[in-house]
Amino acid sequence: MKWKNKLSWAGTGIFTILGVIYILPILIVLINSFKKKVFINKEPFTLPTEKTFVGMDNYLAAIDKYQLLSAVGWTVFITVGSVLVILICTSMCAWYITRVNTRFTKTMYLLCVFSMVVPFQMVMFTLSLIADRTRLNTPWGIIIIYLGFGAGLAVFMFCGFVKSIPLEIEEAAMIDGCTPLRTFFSVVLPIMKPTYISVGILETMWIWNDFLLPYLVLDLNKYKTISIIIQYMKGSYGRVDMGAIMAALILAIIPVIIFYLSCQKHIIKGVAAGAVKG
C-alpha cells in the first residue's frame, strides 16, 4: 500500500507540473496584455507594475484600431454554422451508412475515412481556385468547405456509435408509423447526444482556431476571422503591436476555453461511445 501511495503522489506531482507547463504560456499572454508595448519585450515574465500597467488600453486598441469585434462576429458565425451543418449532415450520413449495408455505403465510409489521411496542403491551392470560381469565398460558402473537411472524423465517430444502438428501437418506431426522417430526429438523434457533444467540441476548437483555410478562401477585403486579424497586427518592416496582439489572443482564447470546460465531462463519454463496436 505504501508503494501505491508513493506512486500515486508521484503521478499527481508529475501531472501537476505538466499542467503548470501547459497553463504557463496562457498566463504569460494574460499578464503581458496589461503591459505597455515596450515592457512586453523587455520584461515578458514579470507582473505588471505601476510603471508598466496600461489597464484596458491594449484591449481597446485591438477592438477599435483593428476591428476585432467584426472579426469575432464572423468567426462566431462561421464556427456555429459549420459545426451545426457538420453535425446534422454527418450524423444522418453515418446512420444511413450503418443501417444500409451495401457496396455503395461501404465505399462512402471508406472515402470518408480516407479523407482524414489526405493533408490539407495537397489540395489548398486547387481549393482556393475553385472557391473563387464558385463564389464560395464568403462566410456562407466556407461553411460548405468546412463540411467537406470535417466530415471524415465526424462520420467515423458517428458510425461507431450507431452500431451500438439496438436496431429494434428503430424498428419499433417505424411500426408505430414513423418515417425514416422522423425516426432519425425523434429516436436516433437523442440517443446520439454524447457523440454529438464530443464531435461538436472537436470541430468547434478546430474551426475557431483555424487560420489557413479562411486565409486562402475568404475575400479578405470584406471578411476576416480572429486568426487573420491577429496576423494583420504584424505591420510592415517587422513592426509588431505586441500589446494589441496579446489582448486579441486573450479575447480569442477565452470563449473556446469556456466552451471546452463547460463540455469537458462529455468528451471521454462521447469518444468511448463512438468507438467501433459489434
CA dihedral 153, 154, 160, 166 (to 10 degrees): -170
Model pTM score: 0.83
Q: What is the pLDDT of residues 178-229, one digit of tens each?
A: 888 888 888 888 888 888 888 888 898 889 988 889 988 888 888 888 888 8
The least confident of 63-77, 84-98, 232-246 is: 232-246
Q: Pick the residue with more confidence: 4 or 262?
A: 262
Burial category of 60 from C-beta neighbours within 10 Å (exposed 0-12, middle 13-18, buried 19 and up): middle
Q: Rounded to the nearest 5°, which phi and psi values hold at 126?
A: -60, -40
60-273 fold? MetI-like fold (1.10.3720)
CA distance 253 to 28: 13
**Given this model, what pLDDT does residue 277 score?**
46
Q: What is the pLDDT of residues 33-77, one digit of tens each?
A: 888 877 887 777 888 887 888 878 888 888 887 778 888 889 999
Note the helical H segments in the chain.
Answer: 2-32, 37-42, 57-64, 68-99, 103-115, 124-133, 141-162, 167-175, 180-183, 189-191, 193-209, 212-217, 226-232, 242-263, 267-273
The confidence score (pLDDT) of residue 238 equals 54
Every domain of the chain and the residues it spans: 2-55, 60-273
